[in-house]
Amino acid sequence: MLFLLIFSKIDILMLWLSTWLFTKTPLVWFVESYWRDEAFSNLLARQPWLQIAHITALDFSPPLYYYLLKLWMLLFGSSEIATRSFSLLCFVLTLFVMVECLVFIFRFRSRDISPVLIPLGLLTPVLAYYAFEARGYTLLALCATTSIYALCTKSSRLYALTILVGCLTHYSMIFVVITHATLVLLQQTPFKLKEYVRMCTLPWMIILAWMIYASAAHQGAPPASFWIPQPQLTDLLNTPEILLTGREVSPTSVEYVRSLTSLVYIVIAGALLHHARERRNSITILTASVLLPPVLIFFISYISLISLFHPRYMIVSTTPLLILLLASIKSYRSLHRIMLVCWLALFLYSSLTHRIKHRHKDDLRSVIYSIQLYSSPRDYLYVTSVLDYHPAQIYWYDKDRVKILGEEYRNIPSYVGKSLIDQSALDTSSTDCKDPCQIFVLDQSRRLKVMPKLL
């Protein structure tokens, strides 16, 4: 009886622990249903190898992440947890590279910095969120961080590899390359100009060849619209807070709180610049990596019709900001150092808990699975919102039996994965639905109705 009582208590404890982990921690994003972009990643990774390159060219994105995801899915499956595990692996490797930067550049001891940096990395909302998303942003952060490490330690082969992988993962890596090239021209890196050009020639040629192919694929036409609002000057001034919290541009947020937070970051970075003159090149590289990519993205967003000022595109500057903050905190006395680390951890924790509470993906998986309780594999599912099309393809019996109702192909914006939407998906008249087939229509409010077979 005693053993049974103990085992029952253990079961209750494990149930409580698992419930807490998957509802109150970032693991909640690990088990949620796919949203539009993640479903697009899954569907694209299932395409033939050569077709992936053509589709990504039409989608205004490089193909490497989808190739790696395809390999990952062949090994571990295509479920939500399986596909998101690849991003989680990239996140762990990013933390490892950050530790190496602090050890080799700033002479931290690994056993001292790991217990501090790893929890801070886990608490950083923008890193934690994309660590559990089947997208290439964590791989992008890994490449950006590794390129900084290679540049500071003068590892030419590693640097060439990381900028190639990064630029073929996401175009935001180009802002990192521009930052590094500018620093080389200003003679602020260990590399001389000839050395830098020589080691980057092959990666640049491959990247240029891909960009020419991508431009030819969609005939140089930019996307007709984009959903990110245009940033204001206050958003640029508060960039450090955006880089850590992942907050999106919003006119309703509290300006003075963000300004105060950014001011504290600047004070900490100033202390680093004052106390670490012997590592001037490394500090210059990190500072430029924090500041220049967001400034370039802000400038492009401000003067063009397409805004890119979003944390996911500026994640290349998040990791150097964390490295710079921890390196500057080391320059303070012990008591002040402890206070600053505690303040930073508390701020990140409060931002992360707020994001966990309010940032959830629509549970389209449960909705579709509930429909399948009284449907069959020969039935069709129509969605009235193009945003639901790719997730519905993932969770319905057959992705070819999902249609978009009441939409014209020319009106579909490029950023919703239009390159994977065939025009036949909008042709509801071609539906081969014969008795006892049914047609289910799911509207934007998740209300369901059964439609006549002749529309």
Handedness of CA 232, 233, 235, 236 (dihedral sign): positive
Instruction: Please identify which residue in the block is written with the tokens 């959903």.
Output: 227
- Report the distance separating Cα 25 and Cα 49, nearest Å: 36
DSSP string over 410-433: GGS-GGGTGGG--GGGG-GGG---
Per-residue pLDDT of 203-225, as tens digits, reads 999 999 999 998 888 764 545 55
pTM for the model stands at 0.93
Each residue's pLDDT tens digit, 327-382: 888 777 778 778 888 888 888 888 899 889 888 888 899 889 988 888 888 889 99
* Average pLDDT score over the chain: 85
d(CA 237, CA 4): 60
Q: Which tokens sit at 292?
A: 């220049």
Bridge partners (DSSP) of residue 433 are none
Q: Residue 143: which of 119, 168, 118 has the closest Cα?
A: 168
pLDDT by residue (tens digit) across 148-189?
A: 999 999 999 999 999 999 999 999 999 999 999 999 999 888
- 77: pLDDT strictly greater than 50: yes
Looking at residue 402, its amino acid is: V
Lowest mean pLDDT among 257-261, 308-312, 364-368: 257-261
Asked if 134 and 42 touch (Cβ cutoff 8 Å), the reply is yes
Output the 3-class SS for 278-319: HHHHHHHHHHHHHHHHHHHHHHHHHHCCCCCCCCCCCHHHHH
Q: Do you find a cis peptide bond into 436, omega within 30 degrees of 0?
A: yes
